Amino acid sequence: MNAIDYGSSRNEKILADVIAHWEIKNGVYFITLRVVDSMPRGVQRKLDEERSSLETIEAKSEAFLEYQRNVFRICEKYLDSGYGYCLFEDENIARSMEVEIINSCQKDLWETLQFCIMPNHVHLIAGPADKAAIGVEDFVKRLKGRSSFRINRELGRRGRFWQIDWFDRWIRDEAEFKRVEDYIRKNPEKARLPERYRNTPYQ
């Protein structure tokens, strides 16, 4: 993905468990993965309410954009407050996540343009690097599967590591790309995290 292709307006809608997703051909995405205990259960009910009445909404519509903004605002409140056990505070676990992001991109023909590992969630900007690449839904599911297997093994634990659903936002143009890139880069500072979160393996 030498020159960024922001994707076609022709799209296919995906509805996951809680958050609505759009699959955009050649799309570049802002993706957020959340550790399983990163938000209270009651918040999931709020997200479910936000999901209603989306069956006929177009990806480029203001209604869909507002839906995504609402979902992100709800999630952000708890994610940046450090809710849950915050397993990525362990630098070794964060490094394992970094390795799995790189491995997943290599195996699935995707490219990560930027990422940030926070204590209880992960942000990344990524998109397909080849016409033969899998779609965003499969990419995210494989990344979650590989990383959860590795991290659970290292922690000596079993069970779900990630929340079932995830947040992804199709980045529509260069201006939006720069806004998202700036948000990810500044997220540790905004959340008042230590300086080490500005460096590898966290970014």
Residue 15's pLDDT band (boundaries 50, 70, 90)?
A: very low
129 within 8 A of 109, measured Cβ to Cβ: yes
* Res. 135: pLDDT tops 70: yes
* Res. 18: pLDDT tops 80: no
pTM for the full predicted model = 0.83
Q: Give the domain CATH number at 113.
A: 3.30.70.1290
Whether residue 108 lies inside any domain: the answer is yes
Alpha helices by DSSP H, listed for the chain, are: 41-50, 62-79, 91-108, 136-155, 174-190
Whether residue 33 lies inside any domain: the answer is yes
Strands 110-117 and 167-171: unpaired
pLDDT for 6 equals: 65
pLDDT for 75 equals: 79
- CA-to-CA separations, 89 to 37, 57, 154, 186, in angstroms, rounded: 14, 39, 14, 17
Q: Quick one: what percent of the chain has pLDDT higher than 90?
A: 57
pLDDT, one tens digit per residue, over 159-200 is 999 988 888 888 989 999 999 999 999 999 999 999 999 998
pLDDT, one tens digit per residue, over 54-110 is 555 665 677 777 777 777 777 787 888 889 899 999 999 999 999 999 999 999 999
| Beta-ladder partners of 116 | 123
Residue 14's pLDDT band (boundaries 50, 70, 90)?
A: very low
Tokens of 160: 């779900």
Q: How many domains does the chain have?
A: 1
Whether residue 137 lies inside any domain: the answer is yes
pLDDT for 172 equals: 86
Whether residue 76 lies inside any domain: the answer is yes
129 within 8 A of 110, measured Cβ to Cβ: yes
Whether residue 6 lies inside any domain: the answer is no
Structural domain range at position 135: 11-198
124 within 8 A of 112, measured Cβ to Cβ: yes
- DSSP, collapsed to helix, strand or coil, labels residue 161 as coil
Q: What are phi and psi of 49, to 5 degrees?
A: -65, -40
